[in-house]
Amino acid sequence: MSDLNLRELHNTEFPIPDELQSNLAITSLSKVYNWSRRSSMWPLLFGLACCAIEMIGTAASRFDFSRFGMEVMRGSPRQSDLMIVSGTVTKKMIVPIVRLYNQMPEPKYVLAMGACASGGGPFKEGYNVVSGVDKYLPVDVYVPGCPPTPQALIHGLIALQKKIDGQSLANMDDVPWYGVGPSEPTPIPILGPDVIDPRQMDIIRRQAELAALGKPYGVRELPAPQMKAVVAAKGAAPAAAAADGGEVDAAKAERLRKREEALARKHAAKGE
Amino acid sequence: MTMYGQGILRGLTITLRHLVRTYFNDMRYMGKKYFNQSEFELRQGMKTEGIYTVQYPEEKIAVPERFRFTPFLVVEDADHPERPGEDWCTSCGICAKVCPPQCIWIVRGEDPVTKRPIPEPQAFYIDIDICMNCGYCAEFCPFDAIKMDHDYEMASYDRTTAHIHDKEKLSKPFSYWLNIAPTTANEEAEARGSWEHSDTVKSKKKAGVPSVAYTPTTDPSQVMQMIRATMPEPAPAAEAAPTAERSAAAVAQAGPSAEDALKAERLRKRQEALARKLSKEAGSQ
Amino acid sequence: MVIAAPQTVDVDVNAVIDKLKEKFPEAVKNDTRQGYKGVIVDKSKLVEVATSIRDEFGFDYLSSATGVDYLGIADEMEMVYHAYRTTGGPALVFKAQTPRDNPEIPSLIDVWPGVDFQEREVWDLYGIRFPGHPNLQRILLWEGFNGHPMRKDWKEAYFEEDHKPFESRWPAGHVHRIEEKNAYGHNVMYPADLDLSRLTDTSEESLYNSLGLGVDVQDLTGEGGIKTDRLVVNLGPHHPSTHGVFRMVVTLDGETIETLDPVMGYLHRNHEKIGERNSFLQNMPFTDRLDYISSMSNNLGYALAVEQLLALGARYQPPTYRAEVIRVLMAELTRIVNHLWSLGFLLNDLGAFFTPMLYANNEREKILDFFEATAGSRLMCNYMRFGGVFKDIPERIHSVVNMVNDKVRDYNTMDYLTEMINERLPRFMDEYERLLVNNEILKTRTVGVGVLPADRAIAYSTCGPLLRGSGVAYDIRRSDPYSIYPELDFDIPVGQNGDIYDRFMVRVYEIRESLRILKQILPRLERTKGEEVVSKFNYLGRVPIGESYGRVENPKGELGYYVVSAGDEKGPQNPWRYHIRAPSFINLTALGPMSKGYKVADVVTILGSIDIVLGETDR
């Protein structure tokens, strides 16, 4: 519906007379390229769980993401640019998901919709749940919520568009799919006694050796939280807290330092 | 006998009518259908016909008062005369216990000197990648200190840094809560009998000082004015705030004055944090 | 379309039990445990007793069959069966027990074919074997999975503690992501004897083996004619017509379906295991995520199940009349939401891409707005509580301008509801019926397709519009009533032919009947204004020992919750067993037989007419 807005494409470094502003734009190839890509993002018609209902709600007439050029939801991964992972990813389902992702042509994007897709959500502790699709696929945008409302999903889609806008054709890190050779497919997980990520074979082998020796395996012991030190740091000067060491302390001290700085800045501003 | 195909034709007239109606409907509004409060209300109500799309992000549909997204913690306003920036949370832990997916972690506040628990959380974390937005924390909080936020625009590019909310990120002033849910805030204040925190109400009752009486209102700014009008002038902060040495000396005495000093210091710290937060917010806008 | 209004039949279950004991004095005993109902049947005589229960006593409908692991209490495993009469009345509960090591219980599949998937599920999750079951494979997990996860001694990779709340959350709640504690950084756990030399995916092998491929090249025309082979097509788990992540492995002869194997578990998110760790109240928001289109009715079913248990105790306060009125209001609105959705998507499956869906969704959004204003969320309402609801309905559907929101709505709730129920929805249904009901294409595609005769529908334990479409007037709101349904005036629409069109029409008529109920609800809402509705249940409240089976007529069919409260003398805070009898799951038993002989395109429609939702199917 909306016609081409030239101002959107225009590079402000080059002045254009006012009367020509709606007829002429000086721009870069990257900008035109990104603009056309992000304005015709076709999502994969792919619903997993509860969030899919809100995704359909977003596609329906009340919220209508065709306003963003996304109305063409494709059933085939070959024709889609964006995978909206809308719901809980289970171990049984991650195999088809990785396969679908590999079948999508570059450039492709993944949006993790909702708490489950981002990090496992309320079902995280379940034995058949993958705690976040980003354990297997690179995720571009996370949309929190359980489920995110249609407006929250659109906010996430806009965030994705912004991300695309920021990519540059000149930078090969941004557009790796123009590199030499085919892009590397993500290895497909194996359903064994539990789901096996082929990229983790080394760790699995090491842990199997531990198991063979009868040592504890599969569990990583965390250092005990240094809560006492934090308590001390709270009352004392920030420098002292930093000297105590420890990750928690460092973060705390950093925050305290920032706070002091902000205060100093504020005082300085008042003084002027 | 009906003609074959009549059902299809009848259906097609209905879709055609829907199509035509959208144009007539748009014409009736003379181009003022969008970005206009009164038409928006009509468009989202029972009488809507034609296109009723919400033009997000240019116009956002306001969520109802009871809407729940992620939780936040209520703190007193920065300019509260008695306890600016103080937590409403007393770290009783009920929200962490009732949370169905167990996404809340609380470190109970501890007095650095006496090691006794104090009614204030030292740290408060919510992992919003686990949170299921059920609202139990807000429902069962006995101090009305944790509430469900209305801010759903939280999309991020990195979950490891953005999706664990710490106390700083969770804390929002009481006026914000009053702003997003005036009816519920009023109901709660009515139940407490005052606009103040229930602990303050109790301690004031003990001391014989009248607390801020509750009068129902729906205008948030009016409420805040009313609260302020009935409160004593705040003591100058500079006098109350002790230096680190002084507080250490006070600790050595370990009398009631030491506790006062520590409390004052906590207050000062909180004020600073809030000031920084506010300035940061102002900066980002 | 026939409208039936069956009356509640009083069945004296105790008399039936006495007769049963007379007939099988050796094999049948009363279940004398505190708070338990029904009889315990000796497992060697189970098939015989079950046949007698079905044929002589008329309990022809097996609602639910599930397992319980009593580790530490009786050190036994137990199968629990709930049988009903399709003419109405309460359940006959019977159980069979088996030792925990080498558990085995004879299969009831010859008595009630509807037990098929349920026994497979119990095998999958509990490891109880069912001799006599023709296809005892894992159903929710995959072949080769290590262990049977619902057993009480089975701990998952992210296991923290047996019961919530977890110790680490308060008072020294140092935040950690649980994957940081796992050596693999994932939610995985491998057995100590993991064979690293042979790591191939074998999860599909037995499935394809059971199809018996490659051996049946048929000679169609006799000598020298064309030889044909069967073709296997996988529909799903990623397929637009499967309404989620469901998979059908279809064997085709040309275009005609020979066999259809449903494969599920792609959304198995361990509801029941998590449910046993949760406190009773904590399960409530999880029930929202079962049938995520009709969360309000899910809440109601669970509330009823726990209220049955609470009623065993002394200090239980039942919900007030207004609370019941609000519950019915919500349940019926949910029914409309669900049926609108399912009608829209049935048409979608037929190729009427999106127009009927969009029209239906417009009205659905109106109801969701009311849910959002009342319960706080559009989909995940989490509204019912034990002995009440979360909060009374608000006076106004109201939102305020603030830093987050922009455009405001403000309607009087009662006006909003009245207009919706009395004017908007009836008007919409008139139009929707004109749009669809006599459409020739719809009729050609649906009349006479996917026929399920009444006796098969009962045998397969189907429920909801699927059962009623086949002409069985079984609706729990009438047959085994709950809440205030007995005093409401409504009818049960039933089909005659049991085809897709009948199911479609049953749903259309059920929306009409729901509107009829809602019109009776409105004056009751006005009348009871001001009555207390909020429940007094404590956040870690204790529930008396016993078992209960709470069931409601969900939009998709009979939703039952089998809840066991055991393990603590004072009354536990967590359920010992929390099982969901999911209508979508059990209705799928009939999918294979129903699709046989039809074309591939019809399968999509047949599945659409069952109206499944995967959150509930896989749990």
**ipTM, interface predicted TM-score of the complex:** 0.88
**Lowest-pLDDT choice from A231-235, B126-130, C533-537:** A231-235
Q: Residues B279, B159: one domain?
A: no
Calculate the average pLDDT of chain C.
86
Q: In this model, does residue A238 exceed pLDDT 60?
A: no
Q: What is the pLDDT of residue C563?
A: 92
Q: What is the pLDDT of residue C512?
A: 92
CB contact under 8 A, A146 and B132: yes
Tell me which chain C residue has its CA closest to the CA of residue A226: C174
Q: What is the pLDDT of residue B235?
A: 42
Q: Residues B75, B58: one domain?
A: no
Q: Residues B132, B84: one domain?
A: yes
Which chains share 3+ C-beta pairs under 8 angstroms with A?
B, C
Across B38-52, B157-171, B269-283, C290-304, the highest mean pLDDT is recorded for C290-304
Q: Residues B115, B209: one domain?
A: yes
Q: What is the pLDDT of residue B267?
A: 61
Q: What is the pLDDT of residue C426?
A: 93
C584 vs C221, which has greater pLDDT?
C584
- Chain A contact probe: residue of C193, C245, C246, C348 with most A CBs at under 10 A: C245
- Chain C contact probe: residue of B44, B111, B178, B188 with most C CBs at under 10 A: B44
Residues of chain C with pLDDT > 90, as a percent, come to 29
CB contact under 8 A, A63 and B122: no
Q: Does C426 touch chain B (CB under 8 A)?
A: no
Q: Residues B77, B195: one domain?
A: yes
Q: Residues B76, B41: one domain?
A: no
Which chains share 3+ C-beta pairs under 8 angstroms with B?
A, C
Q: What is the spatial distance between Cα C38 and Cα C42, in angstroms, rounded to a whole number?
A: 13
CB contact under 8 A, A218 and C184: yes
CB contact under 8 A, C183 and A95: no
CB contact under 8 A, A121 and B70: no
Q: What is the pLDDT of residues A132-188, one digit of tens each?
A: 898 898 999 999 988 899 989 999 999 998 888 888 887 777 788 887 777 788 888
Q: What is the pLDDT of residue C518?
A: 92
CATH fold label, C271-617: Cytochrome-c3 Hydrogenase; chain B (1.10.645)
C598 vs A241, which has greater pLDDT?
C598
Across B263-267, C97-101, C224-228, the highest mean pLDDT is recorded for C97-101
Q: What is the pLDDT of residue A235?
A: 42
Query: What is the residue range of B10's domain?
Result: 1-62
Q: Look at residue C435 and give its three-state secondary structure.
A: helix
Q: Residues B115, B254: one domain?
A: no
Q: Count up the domains in chain B and report the number.
A: 3
3-class SS letters over chain B: CCCCCHHHHHHHHHHHHHHHHHHHHHHHCCCCCCCCHHHHHHHCCCCCCCCCCCCCCCCCECCCCCCCCCEEEEECCCCCCCCCCCECCCCCCHHHHHCCCCCEEEEEEECCCCCCEEEEEEEEEEECCCCCCCCHHHHHCCCCCEEECCCCCCCECCHHHHCEECHHHHEEEHHHHHHHCHHHHHHHHHHHCECCCHHHHHHHHHHCCCCCECCCCCCHHHHHHHHHHCCCCCCCHHHHCCCHHHHHHHHHHCCHHHHHHHHHHHHHHHHHHHHHHHHHHHHHC
Residue C404: what are its φ and ψ, rounded to 5°? -95, -45
Q: In this model, does residue B120 exceed pLDDT 60?
A: yes
Q: What is the pLDDT of residue B218?
A: 63
Contacts of A191 in chain C (CB under 8 A): 142, 144-145, 201, 203
Cβ contacts below 8 Å, chain A against chain B, sum to 137
CATH fold label, C2-126: Beta Polymerase; domain 2 (3.30.460)
Q: Residues B184, B46: one domain?
A: no
Distance (Å) from the alpha carbon of A136 to chain C's nearest alpha carbon = 10
Supply the CATH number for residue B88's domain. 3.30.70
Last residue of a domain, one of B62, B87, B106: B62
pLDDT bucket at C5, cuts 50 / 70 / 90: low
b/e code C411-431 from CB counts within 10 Å (16+ = b): bebeebbbbbbeebbbebbee
Q: What is the pLDDT of residues C93-115, one digit of tens each?
A: 999 999 988 899 999 999 999 89
Q: What is the spatial distance between Cα A196 and Cα A210, in angstroms, rounded to a whole number?
A: 18
The label of the residue with tokens 């005609």 reads C256
Q: Residues B128, B45: one domain?
A: no
Q: What is the pLDDT of residue C302?
A: 92
Q: What is the spatial distance between Cα A44 and Cα A148, in angstroms, rounded to a whole number?
A: 18
b/e code C256-283 from CB counts within 10 Å (16+ = b): ebbbbbbbbbbbbbbbbbbbbbbbbbbb
Across A250-264, B103-117, C593-607, the highest mean pLDDT is recorded for C593-607
Q: Residues B135, B261: one domain?
A: no
Q: What is the pLDDT of residues C387-442, one digit of tens each?
A: 889 888 888 887 765 544 466 777 888 888 999 999 999 999 999 888 888 888 88
Torsion angle defined by CA atoms of residues C33, C36, C37 and C40, in that order, rounded to the nearest 10 degrees = -50
Residue B27 belongs to a domain: yes
Give domain limits for chain C.
2-126, 271-617
With contact defined as beta carbons under 8 Å apart, do C283 and C540 qualify? no
The H or E element that residue C80 is part of is strand C76-84
Tell me which chain C residue has its CA closest to the CA of residue A73: C240
Q: Residues B186, B208: one domain?
A: yes
Q: What is the pLDDT of residue A268?
A: 61
pLDDT bucket at B11, cuts 50 / 70 / 90: confident
**Lowest-pLDDT choice from B206-215, B253-262, C428-437:** B253-262
Q: Residues B24, B157: one domain?
A: no
CB contact under 8 A, B94 and C439: no
What is the mean pLDDT of the segment spanning C376-385?
90
Contacts of A2 in chain B (CB under 8 A): none
What is the mean pLDDT of the segment spanning C79-88?
89
Residue B239 belongs to a domain: no
Q: What is the pLDDT of residues C144-154, one digit of tens each?
A: 888 899 998 88
With contact defined as beta carbons under 8 Å apart, do C433 and C341 qualify? no
Q: In this model, does residue A93 exceed pLDDT 80?
A: yes
Residue B35 belongs to a domain: yes
Q: What is the spatial distance between Cα C460 and Cα C344, in angstroms, rounded to a whole number?
A: 26
Q: In this model, does residue B93 exceed pLDDT 80?
A: yes
Across A20-24, B47-51, B158-162, the highest mean pLDDT is recorded for B158-162
